Structure 1
Amino acid sequence: MDLQSLRIFKTVAEEGSVSAAARRLHYVQSNVTARLRQLEDSLGTPLFHRANRRLQITPAGRTLLGYAGQLLGLAQAAQQAVRVDQTPHGPLLIGAMETAAAARLPQALAGFHRRHPQVELQLDTGPSDQLVAEVLAYRLDCALVSAPQEHAQLCSERVFTETLVLITAADVAPVRTPHDLPRAHLLAFRPGCGYRRRLEQWVAQAGIAPLRISGFGSFEAIIGCVAAGMGVSLLPASVVEPARRLGTIAVHPLPAALAQVDTLLIWREDAGRHAAREAFLACLREQGAEHESPACLPASPAVVERSTAG
């Protein structure tokens, strides 16, 4: 069972078909099929059910997929650890919350690309819980997520501090407590978002049961629906500022304990040295040190910490 066969198997599992995997790997389709068959023969068990030109992974295949991610990740870490040339290059798979990708990453990614043009950047967005799972599964090299994150297999560094604000329709009177809300319809990102959890907890601690919670995939959609009077939301001040200036929404400050939330860069503890990831973290540190605006508190010097098991 060699690493290349595992890489082919993992790609087929992720793509769901041999043809798609072959295109992604730039291989001849027959080569992918042959290597997959050889791997199944060597293991003595089928890894996929084959029906209607689609492949469905078997229980044995799901078990192997977890090990494949770990083995390939360790192999990459080993290569980087012994390589004399630590110039950042190759792929760097980054995950980020939707709001961080919009408000924080453009400047950092532009500076990173100018310094390290040999790195192939790929950015995926999603809720914090999803991004943590992707990092743990070796599908992302690192990710920007909301604090707290406590996991024995993760390392983290605080790179930004966001100030969250409550937003409502423009004609709503000042809101100081959940009891001042015009209605208990909450608008938030999909489940797994740290900001959503804070909003739910804030309302629940006041003894108010929300009528319903609507989940969205983008902060633009949330702001638009809030402006239309559909409900209220909790978002970083940095992303709602343009709408506030236009007067389409009202922004309500919150207690510091609720409003201040750190953004962490996380990566697997066993990932080893990764020149591109470390260079990306350096860009984030510079941006965090330089950033000062009313919307965000300046980040204090970050300290690398290993998360503890929760």
Structure 2
Amino acid sequence: MDLTQLEMFNAVAQTGSITQAAQVVHRVPSNLTTRIRQLEADLGVELFIRESQRLRLSPAGHSFLRYSQQILALVDEARMVVAGDEPQGLFSLGALESTAAVRIPETLARYNQRYPKIQFDLATGPSGTMIDGVLEGSLSAAFVDGPVMHPGLEGMPVYQEEMMIVAANGHPKISRASDVNGTSIYAFRANCSYRRHFESWFQADHATPGRIHEMESYHGMLACVIAGAGLALMPRSMLESMPGHHQVEAWPLAEKWRWLTTWLVWRRGAKSRQLEAFIELLDEPPAD
């Protein structure tokens, strides 16, 4: 069974004639006769009652007609979603928690206002989880720590983040990892690129963090740091957005480690119209 057969079946059902249906679908009558017979053979039922030069739907044909119409309507809707003048349909976006909280709220608001027919969905998580979602197809695109060199992905740099090491209020200045060798740290799960960056900063100075406490949010990390329970690494933009950031000490990492770039990535060759519309908004200057 294929879409062409369904279109032929609908045409015959509407006209009651192979000849007239052939004109509707721009095929020769013999081709319609053959394809309808093939469809009936596939289904194992007679779809039409044949009366001399006329064809009437059989009881099975009436039941099948409803489903064939629904299938063809869904196909037309899908075609409109991907090729219509106004972007619409599902757009699933992934983002780092800091990006979702600080960088993109205004863009998302303008996106929803400008394209009300798009069904928007946002998921947050570490870079590894977001990349997996894009590769699996559950996410249309995602903001991750870049650059991303995976052959199955395309992307573009969007934001530059200044990485800050955060300590309890009154803590002596931290200039290098050996200054805090053995100190407990708070971080996301192991597939978080910021956590790997933090651990690499220690390793490059031949130092080792103490216990690594896995957290689910920056707010939780900050609360633990304020309590004097350890250190955290987070983007300056995220830190300065949170209540309580005045209750800690914070310093940028040394220049080699200081900056990380957030990329927007998507599957190679799969830039949808919804994604193109989103990228256009990213390129627009922020509202006054």
Q: TM-score, normalised by structure 1?
A: 0.64
3-state SS in 2 of match to 1:173: coil
State the alpha-carbon separation in 1 of the partners of residues 248 and 161 from structure 2.
Answer: 19
Corresponding residue number in structure 2 for 1:32 = none
Question: C-alpha offsets along residues 242-301 of structure 1, whole Å, 9 cap, x if unaligned?
Answer: 458752111112223211111100000132x411111111222225xx59xxxxxxxxxx
Structure 1 position 187 matched with structure 2 position 186:
yes
- Provide the residue aligned with 2:152 in structure 1: 153
Aligned residues of 2:147 and 2:157 also touching (Cα < 8 A): no
Query: After TM superposition, which residue ranges in structure 1, 4 or more long, deviate above 6 angstroms?
Result: none
List alignment gaps of at least 5 residues for structure 1: 4-41, 43-74, 292-310
Scaled by the length of structure 2, the TM-score of the pair is: 0.69
Query: Within 2, Cα distance between the matches of 1:232 and 1:275?
Result: 43
1:128-277 to 2 correspondences below 5 Å:
128-181=127-180, 183-242=182-241, 247-271=246-270, 273-277=271-275
CA-to-partner distance for each residue in 1:176-207, whole Å, 9 max, x for gaps? 11122275211111111111111000011111
Equivalent pair of 2:174/2:251 in contact (CA under 8 Å): yes
Moved more, 278-287 or 218-227: 278-287
Alignment map for 1:1-310 (pairs within 5 Å) = 79=79, 83=83, 85-181=84-180, 183-242=182-241, 247-271=246-270, 273-286=271-284, 290=286
Q: Distance in 2 between matches of 1:201 and 1:2?
A: 55
CA contact (8 A) 1:96 1:124 kept: yes
In 2, the alpha carbon distance for the partners of 1:246 and 1:193 equals 22
Distance of aligned partners of 1:2 and 1:98 in 2 relative to their CA distance in 1, 3 Å threshold:
farther
**Cα distance change, pair 191–184 in 1 and its aligned pair in 2 (3 A):** same
1:181/1:244 CA distance change after superposition, 3 Å: farther
Distance 1:100 1:158 in 2: 13
Q: Partner letter of residue 262 of structure 1?
A: T
CA contact (8 A) 1:88 1:279 kept: yes
Q: Which has the higher contact order (CA 8 A, sep 6+)?
A: 1
Show CA shifts across 1:81-131 (max 9, x none): 972x24111110000011111011211101111111111110011110111
Deviation at 1:225, TM superposition (A): 0.8
- Given that 2:167 and 2:225 are in contact with CA atoms closer than 8 Å, whether structure 1 keeps it comes out as yes
Distance in 2 (alpha carbons) for counterparts of 1:191 and 1:286: 35
Identity among equivalent positions (%) equals 32
Distance 1:208 1:80 in 2: 57
Letter in 1 for 2:257: L
Number of equivalenced pairs: 216
Which structure has the larger Rg? Answer: 2
Match of 1:48 in 2: none
